[in-house]
Amino acid sequence: MHNVILKRFDHPDEVRHFEKGKFELVKLGNMTIGRARYEPGWKWSTHVKPVAGTASCEIEHVGMVVSGRAKVLMNDGTEFELTPGELFYIGPGHDSWVVGDEPYVSLHFMGADDYAK
């Protein structure tokens, strides 16, 4: 007998809404995958910080950029840009924001359970 789970982000298990964005979660067995959708003008420190209650994002992220661009500023001052097709690891202690006039979409394979709550 085969165990198979098929799901789509069209019907997420949970959606976390905040101004200029949302974070959709799909649970597959013991794994949670997130999809971030942020509009132009979205910034973590403005739109998610009040929900998180921390000075910077303390979630460890592993993911992939689907579309759009975002900048990340680490607490130590290191800054980099995320672009479509890029796989990323971002450690705790950072801020991020959408760059340009296109929405930013990324998939999160680690850190999704605890993000934006």
Structural domain for 38, as ranges: 14-110
Q: Domain of 100: which CATH number?
A: 2.60.120.10
Tell me the pLDDT of the chain averaged across its residues: 96
The predicted pLDDT at position 1 comes to 59
Average pLDDT, integer, range 52-80: 97
- Residue 55 located in a structural domain: yes
Residue 10 pLDDT level (bands cut at 50, 70, 90): very high
**With 90 as the cut, is the pLDDT of residue 43 above it?**
yes
Q: How far is CA 63 from CA 2, 55, 60, in A?
A: 28, 22, 10
Residue 2 pLDDT level (bands cut at 50, 70, 90): confident
**With 70 as the cut, is the pLDDT of residue 62 above it?**
yes
Q: Which residues pair with 16 in a beta bridge?
A: 23
- Residue 46 located in a structural domain: yes
SS3 27: strand
Tokens representing 75 are 């607490």
Give me the count of residues in the chain: 117
The verdict on pTM exceeding 0.85 is: yes
Tens of pLDDT, residue by residue over 70-106, are 999 999 999 999 999 999 999 999 999 999 999 999 9
Q: Nearest 5°: phi and psi at 46?
A: -95, -45
Alpha carbon 86 to its chain's center: 13
The predicted pLDDT at position 50 comes to 93
- Residue 5 located in a structural domain: no
- Residue 81 located in a structural domain: yes
Tokens representing 54 are 């921390």
Number of folded domains that form the chain: 1
Residue 117 pLDDT level (bands cut at 50, 70, 90): confident
H-helix segments, the chain? 44-47, 49-52
The Cα 65–Cα 35 span in angstroms is 10
